[in-house]
Amino acid sequence: MIKVENNTPTREPLPVFLHGLLPESLVDLSWTDPQLGVQGAAWWPEEDVSGELGPNKKWGAEVLTLDAERQVVLVKRKQVAMTAGEKAERDELIAAQWADQIAARRFQVETVGVTVAGVKLNTERDSQSLLTGAAFAATLDPAYQIKWKAETGFVDLTGEQVMGIASQVRAFVQACFNREAELLGAVADGSITAEMLEEGWPA
């Protein structure tokens, strides 16, 4: 809401004693107690007509114009060029936001699980560590055998199978990180899009 007095709009906060009134009650305050000092004023809704912010621009001063017929204040903000420092700060912030989104998506894909040799495996971090430990044990003992708990239940695995599964899980996880690196490269060269965040991940 913007104050209108003597056909002049100004940004002044709505007095506390007027809070809670409906917008239609604020367009004409002649009914209020003179001691409140707002009989000749009104607070009208505002409508932003600034348009879309151009590249490497920032919002500057605003121009307030009355639309008396609709009892609305039109707000048009000027666009001014950003300084080199402001552009660098903006780009750094955008890159950091993209990096957070990409890392979160990579972690989601990485830990959702993967099917190897018909066995659906948990790929959360704890499971990855356990599988790495089992694969290491298999390299020390050619006769190594274990019961591995897959998402569908326990399966019997030989040492050779354990090492093969561990290798494929590791390749899956690495592919997730490779995709993250590719997307960060797209952030760096300015070609990143929201659609790319959902594409190219290993399955």
Query: For the chain, what are the domain ranges?
Result: 2-81, 84-198
Distance between CA atoms of residues 75 and 50, nearest Å? 7
Q: Is the pTM of this model over 0.75?
A: no
Spatial CA neighbour of 106 closest among 180, 172, 168: 180
Q: How many residues does the chain have?
A: 203
> Please, are residues 47 and 75 in contact by the beta-carbon 8 Å criterion?
yes
Q: Which tokens sit at 70?
A: 């609709």
Q: What is the pLDDT of residues 125-151, one digit of tens each?
A: 999 999 999 999 999 998 999 999 988
pLDDT in tens, the chain (203 residues): 999 999 999 999 999 999 999 999 999 999 999 999 999 999 999 999 999 999 899 999 999 999 999 999 999 999 999 999 999 999 999 999 999 999 999 999 999 999 998 888 999 999 999 999 999 999 999 899 999 998 889 999 999 999 999 999 999 999 999 999 999 999 999 999 999 999 999 98
The separation between CA 11 and the C-alpha centre of its own chain, rounded to angstroms, equals 32
